[in-house]
Amino acid sequence: MNVSSKTSPVIRQKTRRVLVFAYYFPPMGLSGVQRTAKFLKYLPRHGWESTVVTCRPHGYFAYDDSLLREIEEAGITIHRTASWDPTRLFGRRTTVDMPRESVRRGLSALSQWVFIPDNKVGWMRPALGQALGILRDKPYDLIYSSAPPYTSHLAAARLARKTGLPLVLDFRDDWVGNPRHIYPTPFHRARSTRLEGSALKAADRVVVIGDAIRKSLATRHPDILTPENVRVIPQGFDPADFDAEPRIPGLTMDPEVFTLLYSGVFYDAQSPEPFLRGLAALVEREPALRNRLRAVFMGLLPAFAKTLAAQLHIEDMVHHTGYLPHEEAVSGLLAADVLWMTIGRADGSARIWTGKLYEYFGSGKPVLGLVPEGVARKALKEYGASTIVEPDASPDAIADAIGQLYEQWSGGRLPRPDPAWIAKFDRERLAGALAGIFNDIVQERE
């Protein structure tokens, strides 16, 4: 991690302005929104005011007004545009159910046939037009874009070429190398690779969440990227969020009951099934634990998981809160005894990061990780307070891991992480690293 490398001191004598392209932005919820929102919350403390170009609320899986309140309290100016993309079919600010995984995959495959680089390409023209209007009203020092969707990077790159303003591109996920993207033909991949290179060429700096993405981009575009213009700023957590009262909606917290909690959604090869089968195996092995263990799912849970829990006769041990605003979700993390996560074994899974992991770190709670070898497993090992099992381990192996954690909990011996290591992922510190990159670029242009 090199968030502190090559960053200049904070410049306080002059407030500078950054114009931000962010399709996913509050009141939209889920983890893809938080990185940008938290950067913008803390950038003013480092001498940067932000104006955001985003889309109007439409059909989406979750909305979170608590994040929007944070942004408004920080004084961020927001310009919302139309977006000619498929989600408009659901109308304005409509919460839609996440489809079954087989349906989601089918829709994704169809979308990747039709739209390049992604199905948000219809946002480019409205976003670019809005941005040009903003620049006519007042001067800005820099353009920043967060992706996915990668349409955001294309719009920002076009604006940078048109205006001459410096550009920073932030990759929350890899683009062409994203293991979740399936390119239906060589043409689709080649076209996306050219668009990716075009955006990178327009950028003064590229920011990525991890070294795996940096290496992936550099391998495809060695003539464009150098070690000097790619920086790693990892995902993080906001310590201010954790000044919350521990609670889980719908549950009375019982100190005699061991609570394992999963926060977030399941998709692709990520599934709750191995965990549920492991929990069932443990209770079958030790029936007395049925009233001493509880599994909480906080977020969007597939319907099949509820059916499976009933088939395994553990439905009385499973509690589902539904999607919660971020502030309530953090309260849930603090109320649990152990948090768990999974990354399924699939092509590219070694390169998959998950933003929830850093919120888990911020809680200081022990983490059970059902993860393969890769970047997430490495981070869990560095965290220290973790128990790691293969994602396709047998129910008995997962039962052993849960049972071990239960024994540690009942004996008051749950592991604790190193606070100094956790502090590296403080959102305000990470925003300072981003501001340092902005300052370097502006100074180079002066």
pLDDT in tens, 4-53: 334 444 444 589 999 999 999 998 877 789 999 999 999 999 999 999 99
The percentage of the chain sitting over the pLDDT mark of 70, rounded to a whole number, equals 90
Give me the mean pLDDT over the 328-340 stretch.
Answer: 97
Distances (CA, A) of 106 to 99, 103, 110, 174, 406: 10, 5, 6, 21, 40
The one-character DSSP state at 216 is: H
Q: Which pLDDT does position 100 carry in this prediction?
A: 58
| Residue 248 in tokens | 């889980």
Q: Give domain 240-423's CATH number out of 3.40.50.2000, 1.10.12.10, 3.40.50.720, 3.20.20.140.
A: 3.40.50.2000
- Residue range 365-410, pLDDT digits in tens: 999 999 999 999 999 999 999 999 999 999 999 999 999 999 999 9
Q: What is the CATH number of domain 16-236+426-445?
A: 3.40.50.2000
Q: How confident is the model at residue 226 (pLDDT cuts 50, 70, 90)?
A: confident
Q: How many residues does the chain have?
A: 446
Residue type present at position 122: G
Q: Which pLDDT does position 301 carry in this prediction?
A: 87
Q: Which pLDDT does position 142 carry in this prediction?
A: 99
- Residue range 402-419, pLDDT digits in tens: 999 999 999 999 999 999
The domain limits of the chain are: 16-236+426-445, 240-423
- Residue range 272-329, pLDDT digits in tens: 999 999 999 999 999 999 999 999 999 888 888 999 999 999 999 999 998 888 889 9
Sheet holding 230-232, edge to edge: 77-81, 48-55, 16-21, 142-147, 167-171, 205-208, 230-232
pLDDT reading at 356 higher than 90 = no
Q: Which pLDDT does position 3 carry in this prediction?
A: 47
Task: Give the residue with greater pLDDT, 90 vs 402.
Answer: 402
